[in-house]
Amino acid sequence: MNRKDFLAQVGLGAAALLVPACIGGLASCSKSSNNAPTNVDFTLDVGTGSLATNGGYLIHSGVLVARTTSGTFLAVSAACTHEGTNVNYNAGGNNFICPNHGAQFSNTGAVTKGPASKGLSQYKTTLTGTSLRVYS
């Protein structure tokens, strides 16, 4: 066997070993994630900051808390169930959008557009004055 044939055989062997790893890496894009916080119970001051304005939102302890354009509050798990990227609140559509692959969720966290196949966890909110309690 000459040098050229030897290198060709080594190259084919390496490719045979790497192909499953590459395919596995591509397949990870479709894995769903469930990073929803449990036992949630915290209070936020909505008198200042992003929640003082209708349409504003923030992420606290893995929970996205948003103030709708009508002034009510929503709270859902922040991590997209597709790959775990934090979603954004879209005040104009009153929904949540993942900036990574475009998954969309309703204001209750239900999937309205893939690639996510599982909804965001929803949390309860109670407003007392300027204190907003977010809890499971």
Mean pLDDT along residues 117-122? 96
| Cross-strand partners of 134 | 42, 125
Q: Say how far apart CA 111 and CA 30 lie, in whole Å.
A: 15
In what side-by-side order are the strands of the sheet with 41-45?
41-45, 131-135, 124-128
pTM of the model: 0.76
Q: Around Cβ 118, how many Cβ atoms within 10 Å? A: 17
Q: Say how far apart CA 109 and CA 80 lie, in whole Å.
A: 10
pLDDT at residue 56 in the model:
97
Give the residue among 116, 133, 131 at the shortest CA–CA distance from 36: 116
Confidence of residue 94 (pLDDT cuts 50, 70, 90): very high
Q: Hey, what CATH class is 41-135 in?
A: mainly beta
pLDDT tops 50 at residue 109: yes
Q: Say how far apart CA 113 and CA 71 lie, in whole Å.
A: 25
pLDDT at residue 34 in the model:
61
